[in-house]
């Protein structure tokens, strides 16, 4: 897949999508968001992909926000379209069929942190700085930050970060529950790949459905979520993977899952 503002590589079932605008600290513009959407659609259809890593090109930034130069002269209609595009892109990340890890290799600000929050896990390198500084520009997070961050860390902590616009380092983000793991810079990508490799050894259908249930459960009552779980769990017993996984356990051998 060839793009102007991103790069995509797939190796041994793991896709790595890099935002590739290092001179602009990998800032998001309309063209970049559309390229990310196109790549996500294509990767979701590939049978050889079982996990995705999102990261940024270079050593300074994961994604340092949206492109301010592009945003500055937007009118309300253009801003509405840009926000909608951002929300659509992040929803595609959130609903990607396989686990997604944000490998935060530098600044993750504004839209960058919002992208990371749409991923299943966030791994950050030591010293990386994260935040939602939009209020310092006279706006507020427009790609889902006001909705996803409170779901991650609770309303009070989220409000403080959003209202102050302050940046925090990776270790503090870990303590707040935003980041899953803090890694040395040279180990960040490999740590993310190792996690996806461990997940890929499990039943792929089970992982896929579990992700759907967790995501849907956050949008429903607990009672509705439990009913979804009961139904989906029962359906797993019609799958090859369930028979293979339990059979392999009883026969004391490694399972050979097929994702069906």
- What is the reported pLDDT for 112? 97
| Rounded Cα gap, residues 138 and 146, in angstroms | 15
> What is the token pair recorded at 104?
């935060």
Say if residue 104 is in the same domain as residue 12. Answer: yes
The torsion region of residue 16 among left (phi > 0), alpha (psi -120 to 50) and beta comes to beta
pLDDT score recorded for residue 2: 83
- Is position 102 within any domain? yes
Active site residues per annotation: 114, 134
Are 153 and 230 members of one domain?
Answer: no
Tens digit of each residue's pLDDT (9 = 90 or more) over 76-87: 999 999 999 999
52 dihedral zone (left: phi>0; alpha: psi -120 to 50; beta): beta
Q: Give the CATH number of the domain where residue 61 resides.
A: 3.90.226.10
Convert the pLDDT of each residue in 5-35 to its tens digit: 999 999 999 999 999 999 999 999 999 999 9
Instruction: For residue 56, tell me if it sits in a domain.
Output: yes
pLDDT in tens, 100-121: 999 999 999 999 999 999 999 9
164/44 same-domain check = yes
pLDDT-derived band at 259, boundaries 50, 70, 90? confident
Q: Examine residue 44 and state whether it is found in any structural domain, yes or no.
A: yes
Q: Quick one: 151 and 24 in the same domain?
A: yes
pLDDT-derived band at 44, boundaries 50, 70, 90: very high
Mark whether 216 and 115 lie in a shared domain. no
Residues 77 and 112 occupy one common structural domain = yes
Kindly report, residue by residue over 190-200, the tens digit of the pLDDT. 999 999 999 99
Query: Residue 219's pLDDT is what?
Result: 87
CA distance 244 to 242: 5
pLDDT reading at 223 higher than 90: yes
> Is 260 within a domain?
no
Query: Is the residue at 225 inside a domain?
Result: yes
132 and 208 share a domain? Answer: no
Report yes or no on 257 lying in a domain: no
Reported confidence tier of residue 257, pLDDT bands at 50, 70, 90 = very high
Q: Given this model, what pLDDT does residue 113 score?
A: 98
pLDDT band at 145 (very low <50, low <70, confident <90, very high): very high
Give residue 245's domain range: 204-251
Q: Residues 230, 166: one domain?
A: no
Domain-ending residue, one of 200, 221, 239: 200
Please, where are the H alpha helices in the chain? 30-45, 68-71, 76-94, 111-117, 145-153, 155-164, 170-176, 188-200, 204-217, 222-236, 240-251
Residues 242 and 193 both lie in one domain: no
On whether both 137 and 242 belong to a single domain, the answer is no
CA–CA separation, 133 vs 227, rounded Å? 39
Q: How many domains does the chain have?
A: 2
**Same structural domain for residues 186 and 208?**
no
Sort strands 121-125 and 181-183 into parallel, antiparallel or unpaired.
parallel
The reported pTM is: 0.95
**Roughly how many angstroms between the first and final C-alpha of the chain, as a whole number?**
27
What is the rounded CA–CA span in Å between residue 24 and residue 157? 29
Strand partners, 70: none
259 is a domain residue = no
Q: Are residues 185 and 247 in the same domain?
A: no
Beta strand 6-11 pairing with 14-19 = antiparallel
- We report the CATH number of the domain holding residue 239 as 1.10.12
Percentage of residues in the chain having pLDDT higher than 90? 93
Does a structural domain hold residue 154? yes
Give mean pLDDT, residues 95-102: 98
Q: What phi and psi values does residue 7 have, to the nearest 5 degrees?
A: -130, 150
How large is the average pLDDT for residues 47-59? 96
Structure-block tokens of residue 94: 């959130």
The pair of structure tokens assigned to 245 is 């996984």
């Amino acid at each position: 897949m060839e793009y102007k503002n991103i790069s995509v590589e797939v190796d041994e079932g793991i896709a790595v999508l890099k935002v590739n605008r290092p001179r602009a600290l990998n800032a998001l513009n309309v063209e970049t968001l559309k390229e990310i959407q196109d790549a996500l659609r294509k990767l979701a259809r590939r049978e050889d992909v079982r996990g995705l890593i999102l990261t940024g090109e270079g050593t300074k930034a994961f994604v340092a926000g949206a492109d301010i130069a592009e945003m500055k002269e937007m009118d309300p209609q253009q801003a509405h379209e840009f926000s909608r595009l951002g929300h659509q892109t992040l929803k595609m990340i959130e609903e990607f069929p396989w686990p997604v890890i944000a490998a935060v290799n530098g600044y993750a600000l504004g839209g960058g942190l919002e992208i990371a929050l749409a991923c299943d896990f966030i791994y950050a390198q030591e010293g990386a700085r994260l935040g939602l500084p939009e209020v310092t520009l006279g706006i507020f997070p427009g790609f889902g930050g006001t909705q996803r961050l409170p779901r991650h860390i609770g309303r009070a902590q989220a409000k403080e970060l959003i209202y102050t616009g302050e940046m925090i380092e990776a270790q503090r983000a870990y303590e707040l529950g935003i980041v899953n793991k803090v890694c040395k810079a040279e180990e960040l990508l490999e740590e993310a790949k190792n996690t996806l490799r461990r997940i890929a050894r499990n039943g792929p259908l089970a992982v896929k459905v579990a992700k759907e249930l967790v995501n849907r459960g956050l949008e429903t009552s607990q009672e509705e979520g439990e009913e979804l779980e009961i139904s989906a769990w029962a359906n797993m017993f019609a799958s090859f993977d369930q028979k293979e996984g339990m059979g392999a356990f009883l026969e004391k051998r490694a399972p050979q899952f097929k994702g069906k």
